[in-house]
Structure formats: structure tokens, C-alpha cells
Amino acid sequence: MTASPQHPLVLLDLDGTLMDSAPGILASVTHAYRTLGLPVPDAATLRSFVGPPITESFPSHGVPSEQVEEAIKLYRADFAETGMWDNSVFDGVPAQLERLRDAGCTLAVATSKPEVFARPITERFGLAPLVDAVFGAPLDEQGTKADVIAKALATLGRTPADGPALMVGDREHDVVGAREHGIDCLGVTWGYAAPGELEEAGAVAVLDDVDQLAEQVLRLLG
């Protein structure tokens, strides 16, 4: 699986960028808290769970260290059964991916979601035929977004000399992870970032309109 060197590479986050996955993720997170008898975080805090690894979010939001492992197990079991399917592709995304492919871009999903979930989700919701590859985290979610991007670049046989590349994502970890590989990130605001999060992280640009995605990506790729 090698991307042609002359083809620009676009790495695409999944949750909050291509798909509105919040309903299922938040339902499964809430299930874990309630089953453990812990206070469920407020709506704004729950929303922050979408994007980063769940292994980071639970200990950051009130789950005692001795219960984190059980919280993760409860979350994953509920998510695998129901939460992963409580999901939808953002309106306009398929058409934008088609435009990018027509323009000669190589498209790869690069998500912090475990790959064992990301692949069936992209297949079920019709995104798999529109991208060239799907890369995610291991099931234990060890590592960072930069690690997922490293895996994508290695598998696709890409180096900085192989042509332009761009990350598209909705959270700061997308920006930071891409930067570790010398790749700019286009931030999108229809996802789950807090106000100003993408700008503060150093996104090369921030986009509000799905229907302008392909145009902006191609402009940034030069």
C-alpha cells in the first residue's frame, strides 16, 4: 500500500471531522460512570471525551486510578454493542471526499479511535470506499495521535520528500500530532473543540463550513 509520490496526502481525523460520533461515545461514557456509581460529568466535560484516547479522559475527569481499568472495560463493552453505531456522517462530507479524490489526493483516516472500531464504522457508514486507508490506535489506546500518523506515513511509504501532506482534524491533539511529523493541520469547527482550541494549538487555518473543505485543503496543499 504505497501512495504515489506525486499525489498530495490528506490525513483525516474521524470523530468530529468526518462523523458526528458524540451521541454513541457519550452514551457509553455515561454508562461507565453510572455503573461504577460515580458522578456523571457535566455536558461540556462529556463532550471533551470525543477525540482523545478514552484512557486519558477517564483519569482526567473524576475516575479514581484504581477504577480506570474497569471504566475502560465498561465503556468498550457498551460501545462495541451499541455506541459505535449511534453515529452519522456529517452532511456534505462524502461529496468533499469525492472532490479531493478527483483532484488526485490520497486520503487516509488517522484516528485515535481503536482501529478495530474505526474500520467497521467507516465501512458501515459508507466512508471506506471514499478513502484509501484507515489507521487507528491499538485497542489499549497506548500512544498518541502522532503515533497513529507515524503508522499511516510508514504504511503508505511517505516521507517529507514525497510531496505535500495535510492533516484535517477538530481537536488540538490533531494539530500537535501532525506537527511532530512536520505536517500542517487544518482545523474544523463542526467537531468538538472548545472555542479557540484549534487556533491556540497552532492550526494553519480553521474552517467553519463543510462545503468548503475540499477547496481549502487543495489551497493549503498548494
Known catalytic residues are 13
- Adjacent-strand bridge partners of 19: 15, 89
Tell me the C-alpha distance between 113 and 84, whole Å.
Answer: 11
Label the pairing between strands 88-89 and 19-20. Answer: antiparallel
Decide: 53 and 72 in contact? Cβ < 8 Å. Answer: no
Tell me the C-alpha distance between 66 and 127, whole Å.
Answer: 38
Decide: 133 and 152 in contact? Cβ < 8 Å. Answer: yes
Beta-carbon neighbour count of residue 70 at 10 Å? Answer: 14
Give Cα separations from 193 to 110, 113, 165, 187, 188 (angstroms).
Answer: 17, 16, 22, 9, 9
| Cell output for 201 | 494549538
Decide: 88 and 127 in contact? Cβ < 8 Å. Answer: no
